Amino acid sequence: MRPADRVDVLGAREVDARAHDVVQPRAGIAERVFPVGRLDRDTTGLLLLTNDGDLCFRLTHPTWGVDKEYEATVAAPLHEAALAALRQGVQLEDGPTHPCQVLQQDHDAGTLVRLVLHEGRKRQVRRMLAAVGHPVLQLRRTRIGTLRFRDGAPDPATVQLAYDQIDFGRGIDAFLTGMSATSVYAVCRGLEEAGVKPNQGIGITEELLDARSLFLTPNTTTVYVLACLNLKDGPVVLRVPPRVLGPVDDANFRWVVDVGLTGPDKGAGGEYLFVPPGYKRTVPAKGYHVAKPRTNRLLIFYRVFVEKGDLAAAAAGVKAKAAVFPLSQAAKPPATAFVNTSGVKFNTISANDFSFYEELNAIVQNEPADWVDANTVGLYAAIGIRKGQPFAPDARMKKTLTESVAVANAIARSNAFASRDPRTRIFRDRQWVTPFVGGSYQFLAGAERLLDAQVMFFYLATGITPAMSEAKPGTGSAYALAFRDATGNYLDGGRTYKVTLPGPIPAKNFWAFTVYDNQTRSLLPTDQKSAGVDSNLPGIKKNADGGATVWFGPKAPAGNEANWVQTMPGKGYNLILRLYGPLEPWFNQTWQPGDLELQM
């Protein structure tokens, strides 16, 4: 809460102490932060400070329609002409204001006027009220406003405020709860745009992934196979080749079954039969690994092991043995369409604006009514998303949800980039973090659902399987994320850092670094196609102890070009260290990677 006598208008001549000048040194923040909106010297209220310029723009620019709420005390009640003028827009010296919402009520010190704007000019509220003949005596910016009751009964303004607030909050909750589902939806939509049709096609990254395809935190060191199923029309068969590894997840990104080495085929390959929820007909008793998911839409992605760097052979092995087709056509399966998705421009990341709710509605319409628990069904229904009914919010509700999703996105980013849960720290004195708090792929700690860990994972990543969080020495993968350097500052693409992995590095198979764009959470789009380095690359230099030092920066350090990951000036980024086949020193923490050290 910013008190009076602190000015928050960037560039204002009367500034004596801006709130961001006060907050930054006290909080130890090195980079510049922006106030979201403005509060002049005589105005109290809540002010959000952020170092995310895009978020600041979305919350303040009138084109996004995000509400700013103020309470102003004036000496006398406003007459109808003054109220109408404010609601329609008044003429100021810098042009007419946009229409706004205005309510007034009696107050001990005069009349309380509540205004809801979606623009933010200098001293705008004071100038608006002065223009209609009611100078402001006191001004406060607030999210909800003063709540008034007569012997416990809310007055009409309080009722409206309460419902506005609950709609706003439920919009936030729907984003944080539903992002797992919209992520599956977005992957399947993106694959279909790339030519991989549900129940008919399989996508293969035959030449690996690169930044032209937008995926949440993928790697660029292995061949991926992806497919989507939709069981609305009946059971579907998925044929899996030998020696692969990966999960099948449902429409809410819940694990259904693994295929390959950690699945029931144990790496031998085989046919999986996926049966729709509520299916009553008889299914074959033999010949299939049968799974009965809770949802119609399923996402399959598995890794293919590449022998001696031969990507073409790995892709050919998939095409020879993999297939997908409806059970009804099992006697004479149609040919599966294989699509090389390497280098193809398509987006698999769900929306962070109002269209998020439209994605969520499309999911609800495709799934059975009980595809999630009753409380979650009720949450989505409370904002107008109900199965069998159109999603048609009125103007007020659409504006509320537009603001909800902007704030929810800020919450998800803050939770991912600056987790307040100390359990996300992998090592007590290092910057490396993980969302797998407690080692549970269901984000459980006993009876407790770790909500922030769950949100962190699904905002940054795709795919869930017990194998990701329950790896044993020599199997699976280990992941460590870094958003900050050794001093705690966010990574800056215009600066150079180095990190040392002490030897011997505890990876049975290999290790890899990959860098990701902070905005998209997908691969950082540099001239370096792989967006990273790994221990299988020819020419990578090892240290005397068998470890390695890797450099991150816009230019390759002389003599260390093979150990360099390219970054971009003006772009923030984060990175993931992956250990494939992590060994015991990783689990007992007798081995720890260094932090990223800024090079001056």
Which residues form the catalytic set?
40
Instruction: Tell the residue number behind the tokens 């004596």, with chain if given.
Output: 16
Q: What count of other Cβ atoms lies within 10 Å of the Cβ of residue 71?
A: 21
Contact in structure between 67 and 116 (CB atoms under 8 Å): yes
| Pairwise CA distance, residues 274 & 480, whole Å | 33
| Distance separating alpha carbons of residues 343 and 373, to the nearest angstrom | 39
Q: What is the C-alpha separation between 165 and 144, in angstroms, rounded?
A: 7
In angstroms and rounded to an integer, the radius of gyration of the C-alpha atoms of the chain is 27
Residue 328 CB: number of other CB atoms within 10 A? 11
Which DSSP string do the residues of 286-345 spell out, in sequence order? SSSEEE--SSSEEEEEEEEPPSTT-HHHHHHHHHHH-EEEEGGGTTSPPPPEEEE-TT--
Name the DSSP letter for residue 99: P
Specify whether the CB–CB gap between 546 and 583 falls below 8 A: no
Q: Which residue has the tokens 């803050």?
A: 414
**Side chain identity at residue 228, one-letter code:** C
Q: What angle do CA 323, 462, 301 make, to 5 degrees?
A: 15
Closest listed residue to residue 596, CA positions, set 510, 482, 478: 482
Q: Is the dihedral of CA 529, 531, 536, 537 positive or negative?
A: positive
**Is there a contact between 465 and 442 (Cβ–Cβ < 8 Å)?**
no
Peptide bond into 504 cis (omega under 30): yes
Three-class SS of 532-561: EEECCCCCCCCCCCCCEEEEEECCCCCCCH
358: left (phi over 0), alpha (psi -120 to 50) or beta: alpha
Cα dihedral sign, 576-516-224-207: negative
Query: Across the strands, what pairs with 481?
Result: 433, 576
Give me the helix-helix angle, 355-366 and 395-417, nearest 10°: 100
Strands 34-36 and 597-599 turn out to be unpaired
Q: What would the two tokens of residue 571 be?
A: 């772009």
Listed residue (223, 205, 239) closest to 304, CA to CA: 223
Q: Where are the alpha helices (DSSP H) in 420-564?
A: 451-460, 466-469
H or E segment at 564?
strand 564-566
Structure tokens at 542: 């090892």
Residue 21 neighbours by CB under 8 Å, 6+ apart:
none
